[in-house]
Structure 1
Amino acid sequence: MPSMWPLRLLAALSVLSINALSYTPSDSHVLSRRQLHARGYVTEDALAGSYDFVIVGGGLAGLVLAARLTENLKTTVLVLEAGDSGDALADRINTPSGAYYESLLYTPNDWQYKTVDQPQAGNRRFDWPRGKILGGSSAVNAMYLVRPSEIEVNAWESLMANEDAEAAKKWGWDEFYPAMKKTETFTPPSDEVAQIGNITWSAATHGTSGPMQVSYPGMCVISGFRDLDFDAEVGGWAPSLEALGLPPLKEPNGGVTLGSLVGPSWINPSNWTRSYSKAAYLDPALSRSNLAVVLNSMATRIIFADGSSGDLRATGVEFASSPDGPRMTVNAKTEVILSGGVVGSPQLLMLSGVGPKDVLEAAGVEVKVDLPGVGQHVQDHLTAPVVWTSTGETAGDIQQAGSDFAKTKEFLSFINSATAFANLTRVFGTEGAAAFQKFVADGLEDSASKLVPSQSPEVIEGYKAIYDTIANKIFNTDVAVLELLLALNTPGEVSVQAALQHPLSQGRLYINTSSPFDAPIIDPQYFSHPADLTIMREGIKLVRALKQTPPFNSSLGDETFPGPTVVSDEDIEKWLIEQASTQYHPISSCAMLPRSQGGVVNAKLQVYGLANVRVVDSSIFPFEFASHVGASTYGLAEQASSIILISNNLPTNAVKGLAVPSFSTLALVWTSFFAVSVAAGPFIT
């Protein structure tokens, strides 16, 4: 295995595709962070006795909610975050290329979860990194902005339509697409960037006044850029894929994903920094008197009212700073909102007595609501690369050389963003796709009887609903089943990953102890359904075809991974079993499905059996999209904030604090309160 393989994997971090910086004062370090955060960050002993909303988790979704809910000055909001602020690591977070060269993964700012051994994937344990820091995974991911297709989003809506058609409309394309656009302000690439990268886009598919900044890296504007080989590698991406039957996607992120693209990223073109939920949403809101954030505080359980009849009502959240530290409680007057992510949210529900009865009893937790779907339906994207030596200079070569060019903010903004999406017909051919789709569809009952890691009839029905959606609403359409990703960040190498987008394998995660400081058991059951392996095998073949296709192949040398000895279908499958890794997009552990199908939340994001607890994070998506998780999660959080405010009879947008004003306006306002300190240095905070 190549020594730089971890760097190539980071290119797929999209839970981890979620980031960028808007040009607020905190992003450019115009203000002292100590002054800016003095009001918003509070210590445990300075907490108020109660808040209207207690948000558990200061990750991507939690910070969007905190900012949007506190726009209404009648509300009070507390965010409980288990990690630190990230302020001391601002340079590493804000530099886009830091995701590859100075990653915070495998540090204390990463939860460092691991799966159990995966029998169908070489009995290997997989890393499941998650950001343990304000902004969550949006602070550590690779910043891809790729939205799902209209077909997929409408399929999501259809899963809930029979239960609550009106509420389900929020998750159909007509309403969810505007929510995704609401989060962002789009800046097109420069003419030179567009020409060299062969980039197409449509401003109409993006937002114009949201907190998140969306644009393209600035590397191409450096003089002498054309002396490098990026015009062959990035610029050759689209024409070579078109020759292979994947034409350029003219309007990326507009509801169709089939084709090739050099996509935008969560990046701030005013200073070439990462845009992510802390900088874009939280920092501008921290001065509000109705918002408080407590750091390094782990939620340990939800407190429920005694003697509740019907659905249990949460009265607060218990938390602690360490396993041996004192337990403290903060009261929630209106709602408790879980935004702990795909691992944290189901874990806290189970620790609080809400989940599968057998799991809770085995862990020594009193059962308050038997909800068998908690922790079930877990899905993830798997990926594997083909690697060639490079006859040209790659970004990794430049970074390793450490030239003056490599220290410029424009170079440090370069991140991988060339992708392509292929549907079943492109992967198998017309007749082969039809046969494969029929094979999968006909196997529903057999798969449900053998592959569901639960005996619950409800969970089994949910497995069937998800499986049927993939087999009959995705596999026979133009929705992608594979993503290809170009990576140029390893010295001397070019790699292209093939990533499975609609896995049929479903797993679970569960607690086996009552201690919140013990990580849950994570078992995604990778490759438990054989169709996943078959699709990835064909994806490797498609990637290898690029070696024979100009102009992209002009800078490709010998294949080093998997290498010339891996040739037959059997060889490729054996290699995938031994080498495939996660694309870092796990979802669905608190799936939005009917309760009769092992669902955890309804279409209003309310947990079944609980009167005032919602889940708002990527754990609620019922099946994987052919996209990166960030854009969907931002849209989810924007949509959720409106739902929550309206359901509690609170008007939205009472404070106009999150649209993006000009930098001069921001500077004028802030300098009237704080002393200005201008940041210096090549990297851009």
Structure 2
Amino acid sequence: MPHLQSVVNGRTDYDEWEREGAEGWSYKDLRPYFLKSEGFSPTVNNPDIRADEHGTSGPWKTRRPGVDPISKIMLKSCANVGIPITKDFNTPRGTLGATTWTAFMDGKGYSEYKIQTIRQIYPKNSPRLGSSSATAYLTSDVLARRNLFVALTCCVEKILFDNGSNMPRAIGVELRTSRDGPLFRVSARKEVILSAGAYVTPQLLMISGIGPRAELEEKEIKVIKDLPAVGKNLVDHAACGSVVYRTTKSLPTYDRLNNPLRALVALVQWYITGKGPMAVLTSPGGAFIRSDDPSLPYDTPGEQTPRNLVDLTSGPNAPDLEIAWWKQFLNILSFPLIGLDGGLGKTPPGIQGITISVVSLRPKSSGEVTLKTNSVWDKPIVDPKWFSDEHDMHVLTRGLRLILKIARAKPFADFADYREDKKYPFLWLGTQDPDALSEEELHGFIRQKSTPAWHPACTARMGKSEDSSVVDTKLQVHGIRSLRIIDTSVFPKQISGHPCAPVIAMAEKASDMIKKAHTG
């Protein structure tokens, strides 16, 4: 969900980071950087959001867009099963409850995702609109700096080191534009900063000689520094898949925009005014909940909460499940309608509806990133090892049964069509009575349909020990001088929300660290 503002999660996730050994990375330490990066714009759509709990002058623009009719109905249905309505997810008080999302959008209501649709249609004349980390920080003034050179369509193949002292020092990188293209070397006078993400950061470290010794030697890579935790501890949020509900004509969704003419009219309306069907987010709302909340109807009649349910959250006000209702990506357009196959499938003509999903935020299972070869041009092997601990399946199953019950609650139940239709097998689960479904049936659906939430983290995590972490609290790689990592791979533990805002706050804090290190 690239257009959603990452939920800041209250204080407990980051206080947990500090408890894990990441001193200086508590909520108190990060909050100034959340506020520094954000430029929140109050609108008529969010009169109850407290401006003093948001940054208002930062470069990354946020606002709350209009609420579509289905979200209003979904919020009432959430409330009717016991999920409280909250005004704002992004506060120090935590995220529990249901509401509509705040989004990264500019003052005219353009999100970066929507701007990408214009760029696909008009690649030469598209405006620089929307709000993303690129539009916020890579402004025309920044790009015009004489000390900045931006190289596109390049791939860094290796980090270079000077081994002339007791501790290796990063001195630059090698890169190419293709596997067989000319080799270029770029020297670093002060530092090399690695920001390649939770998959490629560990891959590049290992190819460069930093990682588990046995794995490097197996790939005939010279060991610069033996760090066993490189590529380990991979954690991502796992979604149950798409539960699709067909709705009646009395609740029109934007499936009607599958009609090319209507879609074109909506696109022009949004492009000119920033309003209309396309101004609604791809995922307009959701909820954060706890799987052990006794007030929510997780269980079937007569069933008791299992004794082996473990609290893996960072605190009593932190969630371990997220619910979202959303729409598919329809070619280059995005509307609130049915979403198939993680949003990639095309909705059949003649039906309309909505997709609901639940996401596991605090899994016990963890995976790893390993090398396929010693070349960065060969993708690494990513094994998330989902559900290797059965506890994760149990938690996600509880969440899946809950969203089935939300969809049976009023007022959504007044508009849902629960009739089975063999012509559309993807509707099957949404037509079933949640109290009649067995655990095995829900497990089977999850195993067949589950998808990542695209929030991988922790593969080069921060900590004190070289045995269990990769970087120290200054984000410097253990045992290596002048090499720093700034991306989600250094998260000490996975957060119970979306990682966009936290990684920007981390980058803001790191920039202060770097300036202090080199200016005294």
**TM range, normalised to the smaller chain?**
0.7 to 0.9
Q: State whether residues 298 and 398 of structure 2, in contact with CA within 8 Å, keep that contact through their aligned partners in structure 1.
A: no
Shift in Å at residue 209 of structure 1?
A: 0.9
Q: Separation in 2 of the partners of 1:428 and 1:185?
A: 36
Partner of 1:264: 102
Q: State whether residues 109 and 279 of structure 2, in contact with CA within 8 Å, keep that contact through their aligned partners in structure 1.
A: no
Aligned equivalent of 1:610, options 469, 477, 480: 480
Please give the per-residue CA displacement for 1:154-186, whole angstroms capped at 9, x wherever unaligned.
00111115xxxxxx12x1011212211211111
Aligned equivalent of 1:159, options 2, 10, 20: 20
Partner of 1:315: 171
Structure 2 unaligned residues grouped into runs of 5+: 113-130, 327-335, 339-346, 420-426
Q: Separation in 1 of the partners of 2:42 and 2:6?
A: 14
Q: State whether residues 385 and 561 of structure 1, in contact with CA within 8 Å, keep that contact through their aligned partners in structure 2.
A: no
3-state SS in 2 of match to 1:548:
coil
Task: Give the 3 Å change call, closer, same or farther, for CA 271–244 of structure 1 in structure 2.
Answer: closer
Identity of aligned residues (%): 28
For the pair 1:480 / 2:480, whether they are aligned, the reply is no
User: Pairwise mapping of residues 519-558 of structure 1 onto structure 2 (< 5 A)?
Assistant: 519-558=379-418
Partner of 2:280: 414
Amino acid at match of 2:35: K
Alignment RMSD? 2.4
**Of the two structures, which has the highest relative contact order with CA contacts closer than 8 Å and spacing of 6 or more?**
1
Shift in Å at residue 249 of structure 1?
A: 1.5
Amino acid at match of 1:606: Q
3-state SS in 2 of match to 1:522:
strand
Q: Separation in 2 of the partners of 1:291 and 1:413?
A: 35
Partner of 1:514: 374
Q: TM-score, structure 2 length as denominator? A: 0.82
User: Pairwise mapping of residues 483-494 of structure 1 onto structure 2 (< 5 A)?
Assistant: 483-487=322-326, 488-490=336-338, 492-494=352-354
Q: Separation in 1 of the partners of 2:471 and 2:307?
A: 31
Q: State whether residues 486 and 497 of structure 1, in contact with CA within 8 Å, keep that contact through their aligned partners in structure 2.
A: yes
Shift in Å at residue 563 of structure 1?
A: 4.4
Partner of 2:36: 182
Q: State whether residues 320 and 326 of structure 1, in contact with CA within 8 Å, keep that contact through their aligned partners in structure 2.
A: yes
Q: Separation in 1 of the partners of 2:475 and 2:488?
A: 12
The answer to which structure has the higher helix fraction is: 1
User: Pairwise mapping of residues 159-308 of structure 1 onto structure 2 (< 5 A)?
Assistant: 159-160=20-21, 168-169=23-24, 171-190=25-44, 193=45, 200-217=48-65, 230-231=68-69, 233-255=70-92, 256-270=94-108, 272-274=110-112, 275-284=131-140, 285-308=142-165
Partner of 2:429: 562
Shift in Å at residue 528 of structure 1?
A: 0.6
Q: Separation in 2 of the partners of 1:431 and 1:563?
A: 16
Partner of 2:308: 439
Q: State whether residues 103 and 111 of structure 2, in contact with CA within 8 Å, keep that contact through their aligned partners in structure 1.
A: no
Q: Separation in 2 of the partners of 1:546 and 1:613?
A: 49
Shift in Å at residue 580 of structure 1?
A: 0.8
Partner of 1:637: 507
For the pair 1:499 / 2:365, whether they are aligned, the reply is no
Q: Separation in 1 of the partners of 2:306 and 2:193?
A: 39
Partner of 2:122: none
3-state SS in 2 of match to 1:292:
coil
Higher mean alpha-carbon deviation, 377-386 vs 332-341, is at 377-386
Task: Give the 3 Å change call, closer, same or farther, for CA 531–597 of structure 1 in structure 2.
Answer: farther
Amino acid at match of 1:241: C
Please give the per-residue CA displacement for 1:548-596, whole angstroms capped at 9, x wherever unaligned.
3222333322271424468111110111111111111111111112225
Task: Give the 3 Å change call, closer, same or farther, for CA 400–641 of structure 1 in structure 2.
Answer: farther
Q: State whether residues 182 and 209 of structure 1, in contact with CA within 8 Å, keep that contact through their aligned partners in structure 2.
A: yes
3-state SS in 2 of match to 1:147:
coil
Structure 1 unaligned residues grouped into runs of 5+: 1-12, 14-140, 162-167, 221-229, 442-469, 651-685
Q: State whether residues 217 and 269 of structure 1, in contact with CA within 8 Å, keep that contact through their aligned partners in structure 2.
A: no
Q: Separation in 2 of the partners of 1:571 and 1:382?
A: 18
Q: State whether residues 168 and 479 of structure 2, in contact with CA within 8 Å, keep that contact through their aligned partners in structure 1.
A: yes
Task: Give the 3 Å change call, closer, same or farther, for CA 507–596 of structure 1 in structure 2.
Answer: same
Amino acid at match of 1:148: N
Shift in Å at residue 530 of structure 1?
A: 0.6
Aligned equivalent of 2:7, options 136, 140, 146: 146
Please give the per-residue CA displacement for 1:10-58, whole angstroms capped at 9, x wherever unaligned.
xxx3xxxxxxxxxxxxxxxxxxxxxxxxxxxxxxxxxxxxxxxxxxxxx
Task: Give the 3 Å change call, closer, same or farther, for CA 426–402 of structure 1 in structure 2.
Answer: farther
User: Pairwise mapping of residues 337-356 of structure 1 onto structure 2 (< 5 A)?
Assistant: 337-356=193-212
Q: State whether residues 198 and 458 of structure 2, in contact with CA within 8 Å, keep that contact through their aligned partners in structure 1.
A: yes
3-state SS in 2 of match to 1:504:
coil
Q: Separation in 2 of the partners of 1:300 and 1:557?
A: 54
Q: State whether residues 186 and 213 of structure 1, in contact with CA within 8 Å, keep that contact through their aligned partners in structure 2.
A: yes
Partner of 1:577: 447
Amino acid at match of 2:289: A
Task: Give the 3 Å change call, closer, same or farther, for CA 150–346 of structure 1 in structure 2.
Answer: same
Q: Separation in 2 of the partners of 1:502 and 1:414?
A: 29
Q: Separation in 2 of the partners of 1:397 and 1:582?
A: 29
Q: Separation in 1 of the partners of 2:21 and 2:295?
A: 32
Please give the per-residue CA displacement for 1:83-138, whole angstroms capped at 9, x wherever unaligned.
xxxxxxxxxxxxxxxxxxxxxxxxxxxxxxxxxxxxxxxxxxxxxxxxxxxxxxxx
Q: Separation in 2 of the partners of 1:200 and 1:617?
A: 33
User: Pairwise mapping of residues 580-591 of structure 1 onto structure 2 (< 5 A)?
Assistant: 580-591=450-461
Task: Give the 3 Å change call, closer, same or farther, for CA 427–593 of structure 1 in structure 2.
Answer: farther
Task: Give the 3 Å change call, closer, same or farther, for CA 538–568 of structure 1 in structure 2.
Answer: same
Q: State whether residues 228 and 467 of structure 2, in contact with CA within 8 Å, keep that contact through their aligned partners in structure 1.
A: no
